[in-house]
Amino acid sequence: MSVAAATPPHLAVRTVPLRDGRDLLDHLPAGAPLAWSHRGDGLVAWGEAARFDWPGEDSGLGAERFTAAAAWLAEAAAKTDVRDGVGLPGTGLVAFGGFTFDGRSAGSSLVIPRVIVGRRADRAWLTTVCDRPGTHPGEILDACTPARPIGPLAWTEGSIPAAAWGEAVTTAVRRIRAGELSKVVLARDVRARAEQDIDIRTLLRRLTRDYPGCYTFSIDGMVGATPELLVRREGGRIGSLVLAGTRARGATPQEDQRLAAELTTSAKDLEEHEYAIESLRAALAPLAEAVETPDRPRLLRLANVQHLASPARAELRPGVSTLDVVAALHPTAAVGGTPTGPAMELIRDLEAMDRGRYAGPVGWIDARGNGEWGIALRCAHISGARARLFAGCGIVAGSTAGAELAEADSKFQVMRQALVD
């Protein structure tokens, strides 16, 4: 097993209380900011003190990348001198990470930033990461310039035109009805190009404003607002939020209520949701005690869509790491399908693209194992002036190409609106 990651250096980490009262995003300089926020709480960061990169491994589902990342972070923690004056989840040594959807793809990474600003309820903190005790990273002194508008955009088709993607949906339904699998999630992409480099801070502000109930993230160029929490860990307790089954929001309160009633009584969507719950229970069974889920899903309404949602909770068995849980849960039935193996093979056959880190785990972890990991949904990969947007839909026996194209279009709207001034 080869890993394209430098041996982590010896680091000095210091966390102190912060009392400037600013919004998290107000601290970010331009460039390549890191962020994870939800309703005003979370972490923002910049600079790079150490980095783990996984080159891709052509074997199974690629759980090796999670194991290698965990080992790298443990080695980094063992070599780090930490002075933590706050002692909350997200203080001390922290890494931001994003993993590819498919283990065969390169691009999974962990980044230990130079500067981190965190907030949790009424407490805020500043963490600096240096190469030796008593020093401060230069990035902490950088002035924060105003975030720039995006400017005009040129839009193009992605890896597969809409009509061809609809044919892929029809093919998937035929194979599901033939008994090859129960569900598969198929994704699409579209592309945009601006006249200047896209300011990620502008996207973060718009996503935070428009989707306060989602987890807004920026990690290694992947930017979005995901409604789906894969796992939150504090101590030995974990929580997760399963989403599967979607409708658009209505243009009027009456239409919105009609769509909600249609979703909550739809045999197709309830079936899709049950697959996702069963997938989570099976994945957590070897790692956790007494997985708790509700008898029926609730309705989660976001600005553009509404989902069937089920929160889950469990107590981890001794010795289980956070990235063990992430590896076990990914890919969930909500982003891959069920059974997992046949669904992954069908995705490779029909999607005509490499998802990269779309629909892969994204989030942060501290040296004590605390962390929050979502699924990279409602997102775009930003590279200079270019943006690649993604959307995916769960396909089951009752799916139709027209309905799935409409659902994908509604999911694209999150990043389309964030990119348009």
The answer to whether residue 79 is catalytic is: no
Average pLDDT over residues 385-390: 98
Average pLDDT over residues 221-237: 94
Is residue 142's pLDDT more than 70? Answer: no
Q: What integer pLDDT is reported at residue 13 of this predicted model?
A: 97
What are the tens digits of pLDDT across the range 204-215? 999 999 999 899
Structure tokens at 81: 């001198």
What are the tens digits of pLDDT across the range 350-364? 999 999 999 999 999
Q: How far apart are CA 344 and CA 184, in angstroms?
A: 8
Higher pLDDT, 248 or 113: 113
Structure tokens at 124: 């805020």
Q: What integer pLDDT is reported at residue 1 of this predicted model?
A: 37
Q: Are 112 and 11 spatial neighbours (Cβ–Cβ below 8 Å)?
A: yes
Considering Cα of 64, then 220, then 50, then 112, what sign does the dihedral take?
A: negative
Residue with structure tokens 């309404």? 301
Is residue 6's pLDDT more than 90? Answer: no
Given 57, 228, 272, 274, which residue is catalytic?
228
Q: What integer pLDDT is reported at residue 2 of this predicted model?
A: 40
Q: Are 63 and 80 spatial neighbours (Cβ–Cβ below 8 Å)?
A: no
Single out the residue of 72, 106, 102 nearest to residue 323, CA to CA: 72
Q: How many CB atoms lie within 10 A of CB 142?
A: 15
Considering Cα of 87, then 93, then 98, then 104, what sign does the dihedral take?
A: negative
Q: How many CB atoms lie within 10 A of CB 271?
A: 17
Confidence of residue 163 (pLDDT cuts 50, 70, 90): very high
Q: Are strands 337-338 and 361-366 parallel, antiparallel or unpaired?
A: unpaired
Average pLDDT over residues 45-50: 95
Q: What integer pLDDT is reported at residue 280 of this predicted model?
A: 87
Q: How far apart are CA 374 and CA 356, in angstroms?
A: 15
- Supply the mean pLDDT for the chain: 92
Q: Are 352 and 160 spatial neighbours (Cβ–Cβ below 8 Å)?
A: yes
Confidence of residue 57 (pLDDT cuts 50, 70, 90): low
Structural domains of the chain in order of their starting residue, each with its CATH number: 11-419 (3.60.120.10)
Q: Are strands 115-120 and 123-130 parallel, antiparallel or unpaired?
A: antiparallel
DSSP 219-231: ETTEEEEE--EEE
For residue 69, CA distances in Å to 44, 65, 253, 290, 419 come to: 21, 6, 47, 28, 32
Strand ranges in 133-271 using DSSP code E only, listed in sequence order: 153-157, 183-194, 215-219, 222-226, 229-234, 237-248
Given 57, 139, 183, 274, which residue is catalytic?
183
Percent share of the chain, pLDDT over 90? 76
For residue 159, CA distances in Å to 279, 290, 353, 378, 390 come to: 29, 42, 6, 17, 11
Is residue 3's pLDDT more than 80? Answer: no
DSSP 87-118: -STT-SSEEEEE--SSTTSS-EEEEE-SEEEE
What are the tens digits of pLDDT across the range 404-418? 999 999 899 999 999
Is residue 256's pLDDT more than 90? Answer: yes
DSSP 290-350: EEE--SSPEEEE-SSEEEEEEEEEEEEPTT--HHHHHHHHPSPTTTTEESHHHHHHHHHHH
Considering Cα of 276, then 290, then 100, then 116, what sign does the dihedral take?
A: positive
Q: Are 37 and 25 spatial neighbours (Cβ–Cβ below 8 Å)?
A: yes
Q: What pTM value is reported for the model?
A: 0.91
Q: What integer pLDDT is reported at residue 62 of this predicted model?
A: 65
Single out the residue of 284, 375, 368 nearest to residue 336, CA to CA: 375
What are the tens digits of pLDDT across the range 7-42? 889 999 999 999 888 899 999 998 889 999 999 999
What are the tens digits of pLDDT across the range 260-309? 999 999 998 898 888 888 888 888 999 998 889 888 999 999 887 899 99
The answer to whether residue 183 is catalytic is: yes
